[in-house]
Amino acid sequence: MPRLDLRLHEPNHHGNGGGGGGPAVWLRALHALRTLEWLRLSWGQVPKAAWPLLAGVQGLRCLAIDRCAHLTDAALGALGALPHLTALSLAHCELVTTAGLRTLAGHPARRSTPLVELQLAHCGGVRSVPPALAATLERLALVRQAAATVAGFFAVSKAAAAATAPEAAWPRLRHLVLDKVTRAAEELPALNRLRLPATLQTLAWTHTSWRQNAVGPLEPLPLALPELWALDLSGSLFGRVAWTSVLLPALAARLRWLDCSMTDFNDVADLAVGARCAAPRLETLLVRNGAVSGGPAEVAALRTLPALGLLDVRGCPLTEPLRLALALQPGVRVVWQDHEGLDEDSDPDASLRRRPQQPRAHTWHELAGFLL
């Protein structure tokens, strides 16, 4: 896919971007790039009147706009004229609200080519997704949005959840990222009423503190995700009791990919807490910078994971006996870090394998198929 990352200069004292011409000149020049499909536009003081020029880049499929202070709802709505636009990312666009997304989603061009991916970061004016847009999205990422705002994207009350299943509002949503959800004490209880669509296949809930003593008992309602097979909770704090009593029993039996790096639950041995926490389908486990330190419990826990093919323990304080035990674990590729900080692989001898070698772990965006 032809790509362009265009960082526009700040305007000089003449009102134009340094380096030759203002933003309007650059946007008009993009019309000649007929094969351009992926564009990131950042740090641009693009005046309101110039944004419709971007709609002339007819081949665009993926558009990311970052720190463009003059992007308004009207300007965003004008971008709905892009005939092939399927993925949109907005970051630090403070003037954009839900109304702009509604105008964009309602453009006639979206009837034949709907948006399937939306990423929002530091966009406090967007408090919800219009129904017309929610009906077509397959991938949604919310970064540094307030907890109350995140809850507003989905059913937040039990009465509403009983009346309308969340998957009815998000019929195609398969991949969801919730990253760095703000931790204002008065907003955190809203997360306990959050109900996610049962259609989700991958969920990344990262770098968020959601301790049980801060928001009350965790409810099983948000975890009714029968199609979920990949879960990324790296950097999040849920509390150990929540892990062993709520999260694992609800999800572990179906997971094939799990990242619990840098969490308060990053000890491999914890996966074996009770028979109900077994993960018979888990193929990839990432516990980077975790508490895997040494002792028989970790190796014993691996034996409860019959499908495991890749274990990433980079940054963990591994003892030599544990390294040896992990290296001899049949069929498991172990990735660790040596004393010089270089990644090392341990690939068991072919005679010890009980199944074909599993592929390496993908990045989360590759796993969920994000385009931006």
Maximum Cα–Cα distance across the chain: 72
Q: For 87-102, what is each residue's pLDDT tens digit? A: 999 999 999 999 999 9
- Residues 250 and 304 both lie in one domain: yes
- Asked whether residue 1 is assigned to any structural domain, the reply reads yes
What element of type H or E holds 230? strand 230-232
Q: What is the pLDDT of residue 364?
A: 67
Q: Is 87 left (phi over 0), alpha (psi -120 to 50) or beta?
A: beta
For residues 294-307, one letter each, b for 16 or more C-beta atoms within 10 angstroms of the residue's C-beta and e for the rest, the string is: beeebbebbebbee
Q: What is the pLDDT of residue 340?
A: 44
- Asked whether residue 325 is assigned to any structural domain, the reply reads yes
- Asked whether residue 238 is assigned to any structural domain, the reply reads yes
- Asked whether residue 133 is assigned to any structural domain, the reply reads no
- Residues 272 and 149 both lie in one domain: no
Q: What is the pLDDT of residue 105?
A: 93
Q: Which of 242, 234, 237 has the alpha carbon at shortest distance from 261?
A: 234
Q: What is the pLDDT of residue 17?
A: 42
DSSP for residue 137: -
Amino acid making up residue 362: H
Domain span including residue 97: 1-128
Torsion of CA 43, 45, 46, 49, to 10 degrees: 160
CATH number, residue 312: 3.80.10
Judged on CB neighbours under 10 Å (0-12, 13-18, 19+), 12 is exposed
Low-confidence ranges of the chain (pLDDT < 70): 9-21, 155-168, 182-193, 210-223, 238-250, 264-278, 291-301, 303, 337-364
Q: What is the pLDDT of residue 167?
A: 58
Q: What is the pLDDT of residue 258?
A: 86
pTM: 0.84
How many CB atoms neighbour CB 354 within 10 A?
A: 9
- Residues 372 and 241 both lie in one domain: yes
Q: What is the pLDDT of residue 102?
A: 94
- Residues 93 and 121 both lie in one domain: yes
- Asked whether residue 329 is assigned to any structural domain, the reply reads yes
Q: Residue 89 is encoded by which pair of tokens?
A: 């990312």
Residue at which a domain ends, from 172, 195, 228: 228
- Asked whether residue 4 is assigned to any structural domain, the reply reads yes
Judged on CB neighbours under 10 Å (0-12, 13-18, 19+), 93 is buried
Q: Which of 19, 20, 64, 70 has the alpha carbon at shortest distance from 44?
A: 70
Domain count for the chain: 3
- Please state, in angstroms and rounded to a whole number, the distance separating the CA atoms of residues 154 and 199: 13
CATH number, residue 84: 3.80.10.10
